[in-house]
Amino acid sequence: MLVFFKERLAFLSVPKTGTTAYETALAPRADMVISEPPMLKHAPVYRYNRFIRPMFLKVCDTELELMAVMREPISWLGSWYRYRQRPFMQGKPNATFDVSFDEFILAYMKGKKPGFADVGSQLNFMAAQPNGTGITHYFRYENQDRLKGFLEQRLDVTLDLKQENVSPQMDLHLSPEIEQRFKRKFADEFSLYDSIK
């Protein structure tokens, strides 16, 4: 998570959406950088609302706008699947070496997900809170020009981004039947994604 106090902006770090590259590029410019531990680096809206927002509200009498990046839902899960096939994951319970992408998606659709498929939800990460705290600025992972342009203009910077924390490259194929089931079950995820320019 990055906080830019003067600009009244907090950049929430949705996992597997390329935010580490932005964190590296913008850390010197940010007023607050939360890069560890992962549960704070990747604090969702509800955790921001509970712990970070009150600090700025009570001490500085300031509300920050929130921004977040969302990835196309199947691509997002594909990134998790590939990420859990990095060499050091060999032999670990959350590894996906012996699981097909179809099996991974089917496991993700279960109510009680096995560890290797328990990766959270972008929709839940960005869910608005009862007090109205929610994402002000949504960006698609697939539209980096819009995201980069927004940050450069808002923060008056020129960004030189480097790829970081990249999942291994591989072709992933999801069977049409499982894709249809997934899109039905997670229609709200796709609706949110489709609403972002």
Specify the long-range contacts of residues 155-163, CB closer than 8 Å, at least 24 apart.
Answer: 155/4, 155/7, 155/9, 155/26, 155/29, 157/26, 157/29, 159/22, 159/25, 159/26, 160/25, 161/21, 161/22, 161/25, 162/21, 162/24, 162/25, 163/21
- pLDDT at position 171 is 85
CATH number belonging to domain 2-195: 3.40.50
- Average confidence score pLDDT of the chain: 95
3-state secondary structure of 16: coil
pTM of model > 0.85:
yes
Average pLDDT of the segment spanning 62-81: 97
pLDDT of residue 162: 83
